[in-house]
Amino acid sequence: FTSTRVFYRKNLILNLHLDQNRFSIPDSRIPSSMLFLFWCANEHQQFRLAEFESLASLLNVPLVWVFKSSEHPWVILDMASEEEALKIISRSVSAKYCLHLWAEGNSYQEFHTNLKAYPFNEQAKWLSEDLSFKVHVESFNRKTSVEERLEKIESLSYIPLQGPVNLKSPQVVFSYFEFHGFDHNNLPEEPLKIMFGRQVGEGQREKITKLSIKKRKFIGNTTMDPQLSLLMANLCKVEAGRVVLDPFVGTGSLLIAAAEFGGLVLGGDIDYLTLHARTRPSRVGQKVRAEDESMLANFEQYGLTSQYLGVIAGDASQSPWREQAWLDCVITDPPYGIRECTTRVGTSKDYSNQAIPEEYLDKHIPEKVAYTLYQLLTDLLNFSAKSLRVGGRLVYWLPVIRQTYQPDRVPSHPGLRLVADCEQVLSSHTSRRLLVMERVEGEGEAVVSKELTLFQEQFFLPTAGNISRKERKERIKEHGHLNLSEEEIKQFAKK
């Protein structure tokens, strides 16, 4: 059986990839390893590979890519055992399903020929009469009717399935996937790729629904989407017992996601009213906040109070936290000055010869001044380098103008290594980058490009009324952004 498996697997690998130059499999792993296909959700694709790599590092699972893509709805990994695949799928938010790949093909004929050649006797325990089963059918970029799905299932009648069919609670699930390309207006007659295998597990997509902000007790104007929050927690390598801090905590959405994966969470924010749920409600039709709205109420809602260490009102530019390596994760979405203002404690007045009378100190509310993105990023990186343990991670959002962004301008620090740089496109003009940095040995100060931090100034350029819709579309199609010239930027800035 071993020689048959090795022969079949080598032929499977040869046919798996659309681009033969993208992968290689060490021959030494062929006798004992297995191929696992992870079928992924078609959203936030730019974060997929970074999440897999972070989870592999967290769970100590070797990554051997067979098919690696952030565009196609699947990736394939060569793994030593099913247990390794289960570790990844048990934490992944990007992946919907994981299956032990049995066969694939670039056409119906090739697929069925390959599947018929599969050594089913090696999987006899999953095909036995003692186990109920169902076949899950899913297509990418093409809707399939119930009749079409049944026809595809019936075409697999040569598989020696002995058990009874159970659609509600089967003991074994087999998955059949079709890929019909990316062009909705020019669908091929046959799928470009067909894949089949036994489902090993499902991803953590249900957590997105569980943490939905539509039903969350306390939210604000900038509460982070739960899917992105969970992805950030995975990129930060949050796990049970790790201490997680958000220095710009807002309504605590990132902390909730980190707590969902077992992190011990705490945070701070300069906005006292937000921390205490005294700001204006963000929900449509709600005029006043409920009496029981609070940061703690959210953790109580999800049964995560044991993970919640608390939050404080504090100024990130004058960190109230201890100056030593005590954190495992810093995860944050700093304010950009667009929907929420950026401020720090300070004043433009000269109080060098004056002091606040002692009787007023208890109720004194300090004055605030503008906190530029340049200062904010410098303080964030310096704080993270001092406070993270070696191996700990900083994950944060950086707003950028797409046209002027350059990867070599990413904020840096001698004690922080850039691990991932993922883009979420916001418009033809702007995007935000999710930067993942890991604490390494090294001391020094943060280096931040001032040109990169001019986001607020360039965000409000009145481009829409100065460039026709037709020209905007042509520029975006050719360049991926508006491709504004220096003359246009100066001209628009005057208006």
Q: Which run of H or E residues covers position 230?
A: helix 226-235
**Token code pair at residue 374:** 């340049």
pLDDT in tens, 8-48: 455 555 555 444 443 333 333 443 479 999 999 999 999 99
**pLDDT one-digit tens code per residue, 233-276:** 999 999 999 999 999 999 999 999 999 999 999 999 998 888 98
The burial of 417, by beta-carbon neighbours within 10 Å (0-12 exposed, 13-18 middle, 19 or more buried), is given as: middle
- Between 143 and 490, name the one with better pLDDT: 143
Q: What is the pTM of this model?
A: 0.87
What pLDDT is recorded for position 463?
56
**Strand-pair category, 327-332 with 243-246:** parallel
- Residue 285: pLDDT band with limits 50, 70, 90: confident
Distance CA 294, CA 277 (A): 5
Q: Is the pLDDT of residue 469 over 90?
A: no
Mean pLDDT of 152-174: 96
Give the position of tokens 């790949």: 101
What is the rounded distance in angstroms from the CA atom of residue 4 to the CA atom of residue 121? 11
**Alpha carbon distance, N-terminus to C-terminus of the chain:** 75
Q: Span 205-214, mean pLDDT?
A: 96
Contacts of 374 by beta carbon, 8 Å cutoff, 6+ apart: 448, 450, 453
Higher-scoring residue by pLDDT: 481, 277: 277
Nearest of 383, 390, 434, 382 to residue 413 by alpha carbon: 382
Token pair 């058990």 is found at: 163
Q: What is the number of alpha carbons within 13 Å of residue 138 lying toward its C-beta?
A: 17
pLDDT at 493 over 80: no
d(CA 331, CA 417): 15
Q: Which residue has the higher pLDDT, 443 or 336?
A: 443
Q: What pLDDT is attached to residue 491?
A: 63
pLDDT bucket at 349, cuts 50 / 70 / 90: confident
pLDDT > 70 fraction of the chain, expressed in percent and rounded = 88
Residue 467: C-alpha distances to residues 42, 428, 474, 482 (Å): 32, 12, 11, 9
pLDDT at res. 288: 86
Per the prediction, the chain carries an average pLDDT of 88
Query: In whole angstroms, what separates CA 377 from the centre of its chain?
Result: 21
Residue 337's pLDDT is what? 65
